[in-house]
């Protein structure tokens, strides 16, 4: 705001300190990255549609697997949830804005250059990063293309953005809650993000350390990861996964928060076991720091190490199962309706549980020796990341879009998007369990004839799932431009068991829907 009123046009977005504007920019940016990362996945699946080398060179195939993972994790999923946090946390805790609005603006605006830098490596001499999204040394140091330096710089900038966003979220939640909103009255979405933010502040510097050591090895003659100079390539794996395992919980915890808001709403009853949900989230966050080496059973660690990481990893199943039981119990004997956000949330609970069970299989050290680096692992983490993070994200957008825009999305189109993506997702990733158990390795452009049928199914499913996201995009844009206006947002909020505007002293999680709010009023 200047002497001439509010900023207009481009400057409104460039200089904004409004948490809603910044949240919207994060969401649009993450969706653009989702389409970019998805297009990389389409190239991968097109190549794997049948055995033999058809479409791309093996080298480019490796670049695609690397870029797909990096763009999806750091460009699509994380900024999407940060966007939700920016939009919803101030509203949920009764704060006027985020605690550090200028830093909020900066933490967003350094992301587009970071990903432009990362994407530009594909056009450099020697091509983009070709060493997998986990960029294990010495493949990423001694044998990497020259573009690896730009990749390292890009990772630093993304990490900076994440740390600033996390500090902002912590400062906002700790200092800016409305009077009467104690910690144990906060909505679960706020709780999951508070815990996630602490995880981010703790582990992003570890990633920065890993890529800095890589930079030193490449350009400054050090040997952190080179056995020839007294270093150890396995050190890289330890450092990377000490970041990487908490990272996967950073990706999923906000999703837990989202479904913990949506399931009670469409069950017309309060969330079952609010306190246990908070403690379970905190337990998961703590345990995520002591399980990192389950990604590296095969490096030859002592049997005591394998046993420790095996038991610690299996222990994570306990708080996670507590959450699943609480969601199911919330739905039990509720007055359920199956609008789009609820469909995505129920699918989330079901499919994330499948991913949890395959994770439990991978936790068993002797079994993991067989599964390691096969498509079984790929199936496992896509059931947690896609069915977990992306499905909960889709649920969140459908759930809050009417709040953000004051307009109602097309419910039929939303349900179509759900069913098409549900079928496409399962067709893509369920067969990968089978080819993985049969021994098909990850990150290869060609394979044995025996894997052909399942790979064809997988590729067809991937294109179905990809196409469904275009329907989603159309529905969102159509809502913003031509959506049916919700005359009284209060009516809509009330029907969804939510009252954002004034945080009441009554415990947030005991709010129940007044019986006089009819379903017909809910959608205008």
493 noted as active-site residue: no
Please count the helices (runs of H) and the strands (runs of E) in the chain: 19, 2
* Candidate list 193, 249, 383, 399, residue with the active-site label: 249
294 noted as active-site residue: yes
Name the residue with tokens 């009417």.
402
459 noted as active-site residue: no
Q: What is the pLDDT of residue 486?
A: 84
- Cα–Cα distances (Å) from 399 to 98, 251, 365, 395, in that order, read 22, 19, 40, 6
**What are the extents of the domains in the chain?**
10-511
* Candidate list 19, 26, 45, 68, residue with the active-site label: 68
Q: What is the pLDDT of residue 7?
A: 74
Q: What is the pLDDT of residue 517?
A: 45
Q: What is the mean pLDDT of each run of 10 residues along the chain (524 residues)?
A: 67 95 98 98 97 95 97 97 97 96 97 97 95 95 95 97 98 97 96 98 98 97 95 97 97 97 95 97 97 96 97 97 97 94 97 97 96 97 96 97 92 97 98 97 96 97 97 97 77 44 41 46 46
- Cα–Cα distances (Å) from 495 to 265, 343, 379, in that order, read 8, 17, 38
The C-alpha atoms of residue 403 and residue 400 are separated, in whole angstroms, by 5
* Candidate list 45, 295, 417, 509, residue with the active-site label: 295
The C-alpha atoms of residue 251 and residue 335 are separated, in whole angstroms, by 31
68 noted as active-site residue: yes
374 noted as active-site residue: no
The C-alpha atoms of residue 521 and residue 524 are separated, in whole angstroms, by 5
Count of Cβ atoms closer than 10 Å to residue 224 Cβ: 21
pTM (predicted TM-score): 0.92
Q: Does domain 10-511 have CATH number 3.40.50.12160?
A: no
400 noted as active-site residue: no
Q: Spell out a b/e string for 333-353, using b for 16 or more CB atoms within 10 Å of the CB, else e.
A: ebeeeebbbbbbbbbbbebbb
> What is the per-residue pLDDT across 411-420, written as a single tens digit (0 to 9) for each?
999 999 999 9
337 noted as active-site residue: no
219 noted as active-site residue: no
């Amino acid at each position: 705001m200047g002497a001439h009123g509010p900023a207009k046009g481009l400057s409104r977005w460039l200089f904004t300190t409004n948490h809603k504007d910044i949240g919207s920019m994060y969401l649009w940016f993450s969706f653009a990255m989702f389409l970019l990362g998805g297009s990389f996945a389409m190239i991968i699946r097109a190549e794997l549609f049948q055995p033999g080398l058809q479409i791309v060179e093996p080298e480019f195939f490796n670049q695609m697997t690397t870029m797909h993972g990096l763009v999806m994790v750091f460009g699509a999923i994380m900024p999407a949830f940060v966007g939700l946090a920016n939009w919803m946390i101030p509203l949920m805790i009764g704060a006027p804005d985020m605690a550090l609005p200028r830093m909020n603006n900066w933490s967003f605006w350094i992301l587009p250059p970071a990903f432009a830098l990362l994407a530009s490596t594909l056009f450099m001499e020697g091509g983009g990063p070709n060493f997998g999204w986990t960029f294990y040394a010495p493949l990423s140091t001694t044998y990497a293309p020259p573009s690896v330096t730009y990749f390292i710089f890009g990772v630093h900038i993304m990490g900076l953005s994440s740390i600033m966003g996390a500090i902002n979220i912590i400062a906002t939640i700790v200092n800016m809650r409305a009077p009467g909103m104690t910690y144990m009255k906060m909505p679960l979405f706020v709780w999951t993000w508070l815990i996630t933010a602490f995880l981010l502040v703790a582990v992003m510097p570890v990633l920065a350390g890993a890529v800095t050591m890589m930079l030193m090895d490449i350009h400054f003659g050090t040997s952190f990861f080179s056995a020839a100079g007294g270093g150890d390539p396995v050190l890289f794996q330890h450092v990377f996964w000490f970041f990487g395992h908490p990272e996967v919980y950073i990706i999923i915890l906000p999703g837990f928060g989202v479904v913990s808001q949506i399931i009670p709403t469409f069950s017309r009853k309060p969330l079952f076991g609010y306190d246990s949900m908070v403690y379970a989230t905190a337990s998961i966050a703590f345990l995520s720091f002591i399980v990192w080496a389950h990604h590296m059973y095969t490096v030859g660690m002592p049997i005591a190490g394998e046993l420790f990481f095996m038991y610690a990893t299996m222990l994570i199943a306990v708080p996670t199962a507590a959450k699943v039981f609480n969601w199911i119990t919330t739905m039990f004997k509720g007055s359920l309706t199956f609008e789009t956000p609820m469909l995505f949330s129920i699918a989330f609970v079901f499919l994330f549980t499948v991913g949890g069970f395959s994770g439990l299989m991978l936790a068993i050290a002797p079994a993991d020796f067989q599964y390691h680096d096969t498509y079984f692992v790929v199936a496992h983490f896509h059931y947690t990341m896609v069915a977990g993070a992306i499905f909960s994200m889709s649920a969140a957008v459908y759930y809050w879009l009417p709040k953000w825009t004051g307009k109602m999305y097309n419910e039929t189109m939303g349900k179509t998007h759900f069913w098409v993506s549900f079928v496409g997702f399962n067709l893509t990733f369920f067969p990968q369990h089978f080819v993985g158990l049969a021994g098909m390795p990850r990150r290869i452009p060609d394979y044995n004839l025996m894997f052909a049928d399942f790979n064809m199914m997988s590729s067809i499913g991937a294109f179905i799932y990809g196409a469904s996201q275009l329907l989603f995009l159309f529905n969102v844009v159509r809502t913003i431009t031509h959506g049916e206006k919700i005359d009284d947002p209060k009516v809509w909020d009330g029907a969804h068991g939510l009252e954002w505007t004034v945080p009441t002293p009554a415990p947030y999680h005991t709010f129940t829907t007044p019986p006089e709010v009819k379903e017909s009023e809910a959608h205008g």
